[in-house]
Amino acid sequence: MIPQKKIYRYLAEAIKNNRQIVIFLIIFIFNILLFFTIFIIFEDFFDFLKEWTAEITAITAHFFGLEVTAQDTLLILKNTTFEIIQECTGLFAAMIYVACVLAYPAKLVKKGEGIVLGIPLIFFLNILRMVFLVYIGNHHYDLFEYVHSYLWQGTFIIVVILLWFIWIEKIAKT
């Protein structure tokens, strides 16, 4: 059995050697808790995003020749209807991205640029994701649950992380 003092010394040394990472994680977690608390308190304020996402998805899907109608928070396809919930809007992905940008050690101006450029891009990419899901819902409904729950969830997380890395390399470090 490893003595407790040895474990504490090891942890203290690891924290000391990785100070920037620890600071990033503390700020990131604080930001996430703050953003989600604000969301929970003012959840009704963000409801417009569900209707906005449905409407913009339908308009964009029509541009690609897909059959879909938006009605409030619903996307009505030829064989089924999907309800847009808050998780479909891109808001949570944007909150995670902003939390990463704010936690990264960069100048405030660079953080502002990253947020101003990143948030619209995340919402745009989310609309493309939704249009793809409309296509799957209309033409390959048997694959919808897999594509929606697994493929796009993981892909969108990777996209947000890549967007953050691009911000670091192209904006924050310049």
Q: Percent of the chain having pLDDT more than 90? A: 77
pLDDT tens-digit readout, 67-119:
899 999 999 998 889 999 999 999 999 999 999 999 999 999 999 999 999 99
pLDDT in the model for residue 1:
64
Q: How confident is the model at residue 168 (pLDDT cuts 50, 70, 90)?
A: very high
Question: What is the average pLDDT across 126-149?
Answer: 92
pLDDT in the model for residue 121:
97
Exposed e or buried b for every residue in 120-151, given b needs 16+ CB within 10 A?
Answer: ebbbebbbebbbbbbbbbbeeeeebeebbeee
* Nearest C-alpha neighbor of 95 from the set 129, 116, 114, 119: 119
Residue 35 carries which side chain, given as an amino acid letter?
Answer: F
pLDDT tens-digit readout, 16-68:
888 899 999 999 999 999 999 999 999 999 999 999 999 999 999 999 999 89
* Nearest C-alpha neighbor of 31 from the set 92, 87, 86, 79: 92
Question: What is the average pLDDT across 108-133?
Answer: 96
pLDDT reading at 2 higher than 80: no
pLDDT in the model for residue 79:
83
Q: Percent of the chain having pLDDT more than 70? A: 99
